[in-house]
């Protein structure tokens, strides 16, 4: 009988194979201490494939025939927790820069692009869209759009449908909920569906941050929050220069509350408040943000 990791039902070899695969495919680090969570997240994949144990599963998912399953596996392993207006200070910064940074660009005929990288179920992108829609009348007439991407095809599908059970809407102030969502019912549950204006501002796409990025247009603002926390330092350090290259010289990069750029100089960024970064090229001549930012 092969050695199992604890009483997980996963052998050390299978765990290692799955962990290496997850790291290679998505940058996710599977810690052995989280084995019971990993096992419970993958158990339904074994059931779906009618497989008896994790040895069979790891052999299959690592094989040439396992390409489809690799996507299911990454989807099962990702943590998709999100909520509307999470870490609100970034939305305050966005709002404060609409008039003096984004609108002048739009009036000059420049496109404005905002990227929600690791968008999960879409709450971040919709919070950005609501912030813009509140501040800019007829926002759809202007060339300002949000790209929202995630490695997990299931969350991209959910986000595209833009329909949220009531329990997920608690972060949305009542006035915004009234203005930007319509109430509906799905399978006997009350849902709130984002209106067309918000939906048309956002393009949801599947994208693995570790692969090449197809976007040609540089971004004005990148939200990549609570994503790199699942990556090791090497993977994070490879991402920063890529974000830098993807940002306009006066852009912003927002990270999650427990994330930071370890070496800002090398990455070409300077800090501009908690979990807020700007390229070192960004001018400092704009109005300073208030203290709480
Ligand atoms: C905890 S959620 C964060 C959602 C949102 N940004 C927020 O802060 O509320 C992390 C998301 O990152 C995605 N993710 C993990 N690894 C990724 C990768 N390599 N490429 C793209 N997205 C990834 C996961 O699928 C998940 O939806």
| pLDDT of amino acid 22 | 97
| pLDDT of amino acid 285 | 45
Q: Is the CB of 78 under 6 A from ligand 1?
A: yes
CATH of region 88-279, choose from 3.40.50.720, 3.40.50.300, 3.40.50.150, 1.10.10.10: 3.40.50.150
Catalytic residue at 150?
yes
Domain boundaries, the chain: 12-77, 88-279
Q: Give which of 211, 210, 203 is closest to 228, Cα–Cα.
A: 210
User: Is 226 assigned to a binding site?
Assistant: yes
Q: Which of 45, 145, 150, 278 is catalytic?
A: 150
Contact 105, 220 (CB under 8 A): yes
Catalytic residue at 41?
yes
User: Is 208 assigned to a binding site?
Assistant: yes
What are the pLDDT digits (tens) for 259-281? 999 999 999 999 999 999 999 98
Read off the pLDDT of each residue in 160-185 and give the average, rounded to a whole number. Answer: 97
Instruction: Provide the residue count of the chain.
Output: 293
Q: How far is the centre of ligand 1, averaged over its atoms, from the C-alpha of 209 (Å)?
A: 9
Concatenated DSSP letters of 97-160: HIIIIIHHHHHTT--EEEEEES-TTTHHHHHHHHHHHHHSTTGGGSSEEEEEEES-HHHHHHHH
In the predicted structure, residue 288 carries a pLDDT above the cut 50 = no
CA dist., res. 147 & res. 160, Å (int): 12
In the block, tokens 């350090």 appear at 237
Cα dihedral sign, 257-263-266-269: positive
CATH number given to 12-77: 1.10.155.10
Read off the pLDDT of each residue in 204-227 and give the average, rounded to a whole number. Answer: 97
Tokens of 206: 């599947």
pLDDT interval class at 103 (50, 70, 90): very high
CA dist., res. 130 & res. 81, Å (int): 20
In the predicted structure, residue 255 carries a pLDDT above the cut 80 = yes
Work out the burial of residue 52: count CB atoms within 10 Å of its CB; fewer than 13 is exposed, 13-18 middle, 19 or more buried: exposed
Read off the pLDDT of each residue in 66-87 and give the average, rounded to a whole number. Answer: 96
CA dist., res. 18 & res. 4, Å (int): 14
Q: Give which of 108, 122, 102 is closest to 219, Cα–Cα.
A: 102
Q: Is the CB of 121 under 6 A from ligand 1?
A: no
Give the predicted TM-score (pTM) of the model: 0.94
Q: How far is the centre of ligand 1, averaged over its atoms, from the C-alpha of 80 (Å)?
A: 6
Cα angle: 112, vertex 203, 72; to 5 degrees: 135
- Same-fold call for 12-77 versus 88-279: no
Atom of ligand 1 nearest to the CA of 121: 27
Torsion of CA 103, 105, 111, 117, to 10 degrees: -70
Backbone angles phi, psi at 146, to 5 degrees: -115, 130
Q: Is the CB of 128 under 6 A from ligand 1?
A: no
| pLDDT of amino acid 9 | 77
| pLDDT of amino acid 10 | 87
Q: Which of 41, 43, 242, 260 is catalytic?
A: 41
Torsion of CA 188, 190, 195, 199, to 10 degrees: -70
Please choose from 118, 146, 209 the residue to mutate so as to test ligand 1's pocket, defined by most ligand atoms within 8 A of CB: 118
Q: Are strands 163-165 and 269-271 parallel, antiparallel or unpaired?
A: unpaired
Q: Is the CB of 29 under 6 A from ligand 1?
A: no
User: Is 86 assigned to a binding site?
Assistant: yes
Q: How far is the centre of ligand 1, averaged over its atoms, from the C-alpha of 150 (Å)?
A: 6
């Amino acid at each position: 009988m092969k050695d199992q990791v604890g009483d997980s039902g996963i052998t050390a070899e299978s765990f290692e194979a799955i962990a290496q695969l997850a790291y290679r495919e998505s940058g996710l680090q599977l810690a052995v201490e989280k084995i019971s969570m990993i096992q419970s997240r993958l158990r339904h994949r074994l059931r779906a494939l009618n497989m008896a144990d994790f040895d069979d599963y790891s052999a299959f998912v690592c094989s040439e025939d396992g390409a489809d399953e690799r996507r299911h596996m990454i989807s099962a392993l990702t943590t998709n927790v999100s909520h509307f207006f999470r870490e609100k200070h970034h939305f305050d910064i966005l709002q404060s820069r609409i008039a003096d940074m984004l609108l002048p660009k739009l009036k000059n005929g420049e496109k404005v692009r905002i990227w929600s990288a690791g968008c999960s179920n879409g709450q971040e992108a919709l919070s950005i869209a609501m912030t813009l829609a509140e501040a800019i009348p007829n926002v759809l007439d202007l060339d300002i759009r949000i790209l929202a991407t995630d490695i997990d095809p299931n969350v991209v599908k959910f986000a595209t449908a833009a329909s949220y059970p009531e329990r997920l809407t608690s972060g949305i102030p009542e006035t915004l909920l009234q203005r930007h969502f319509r109430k509906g019912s799905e399978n006997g549950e009350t849902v709130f569906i984002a209106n067309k204006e918000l939906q048309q501002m956002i393009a949801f796409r599947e994208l693995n941050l570790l692969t090449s990025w197809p976007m040609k247009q540089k971004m004005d603002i990148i939200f990549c929050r609570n994503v790199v926390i699942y990556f090791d330092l090497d993977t994070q350090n490879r991402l920063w220069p890529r974000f830098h290259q993807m940002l306009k010289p006066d852009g912003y990069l927002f990270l999650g509350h427990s994330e930071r750029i370890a070496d800002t100089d090398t990455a070409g960024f300077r800090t501009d408040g908690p979990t807020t970064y700007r390229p070192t090229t960004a001018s400092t001549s704009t109005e300073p943000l208030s203290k709480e930012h």
